[in-house]
């Protein structure tokens, strides 16, 4: 079973080592982890020749996702109250394919509370309301995970372990392995 590993982990200082670490944990759960930086099976499509590098990467990630049976997303808040938007695009993409999506976060503070801290109040300067359903992030995220049959796990970790701790990730792997057995 192939599992796409979505997340801002590609922006870490040693992204290939991070990918390898995630993939070792996948293998320990009987899953094949596909990291965004992996080459595409069969190589890039000839139709992408001439595309700017950024668009080739986007096409490759979409093809990786399409080739997988499930997706696990690192939804740890990234530069603001919400998850990385590239990761969330990929989560929505896989959700539309009808396959199971899982999410994990190393921040267990509810979304509404994180957002109010960020904007310094209950409504922001432009009058936009704060979504408050007691969820971990925007409702499309946990709603999509729930609808797909997947699960979401949050952990509370020390500040210096936010981009290292893999406890919540491993809970996703265990849930994915159970669901896809």
Q: Are 130 and 115 in contact (CB under 8 A)?
A: yes
Q: Which stretch binds a copy of itself (CB under 8 A): 26-34, 38-46, 137-145, 168-176?
A: 137-145
Positions in 14-43 near a copy of itself (CB under 8 A) = none
50 near a copy of itself, rule: CB under 8 A: no
11 near a copy of itself, rule: CB under 8 A: yes
46 near a copy of itself, rule: CB under 8 A: no
Six-digit token string for 135: 């969820």
146 near a copy of itself, rule: CB under 8 A: yes
How far apart CA 150 and CA 30 sit, in angstroms, is: 17
45 near a copy of itself, rule: CB under 8 A: no
H or E segment to which residue 71 belongs: strand 70-74
Interface with a copy of itself (CB under 8 A), residue total 57
Q: Are 144 and 83 in contact (CB under 8 A)?
A: no
Among 84, 104, 153, 168, binds a copy of itself (CB under 8 A): 84
49 near a copy of itself, rule: CB under 8 A: no
Matching residue, tokens 């970790």: 157
Contacts of 43 (CB under 8 A, 6+ apart): none
CB of 143 to a copy of itself, least distance (A): 2
How far apart CA 176 and CA 62 sit, in angstroms, is: 20
């Amino acid at each position: 079973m192939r599992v796409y590993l979505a997340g801002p982990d590609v922006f870490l200082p040693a992204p290939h080592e991070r990918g390898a670490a995630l993939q070792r944990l996948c293998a320990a759960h009987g899953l094949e982890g596909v990291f965004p930086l992996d080459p595409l099976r069969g190589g890039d499509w000839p139709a992408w020749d001439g595309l700017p590098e950024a668009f080739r990467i986007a096409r490759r990630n979409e093809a990786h996702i399409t080739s997988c049976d499930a997706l696990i997303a690192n939804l740890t808040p990234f530069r603001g109250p919400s998850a990385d938007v590239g990761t969330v695009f990929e989560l929505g993409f896989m959700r539309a394919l009808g396959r199971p999506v899982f999410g994990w976060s190393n921040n267990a503070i509810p979304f509404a509370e994180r957002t109010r801290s960020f904007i310094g109040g209950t409504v922001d300067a432009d009058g936009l309301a704060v979504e408050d359903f007691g969820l971990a992030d925007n409702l499309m995220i946990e709603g999509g995970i729930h609808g797909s049959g997947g699960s979401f796990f949050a952990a509370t970790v020390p500040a210096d372990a936010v981009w290292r701790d893999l406890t919540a990730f491993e809970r996703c792997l265990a849930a994915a392995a159970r669901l896809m057995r």
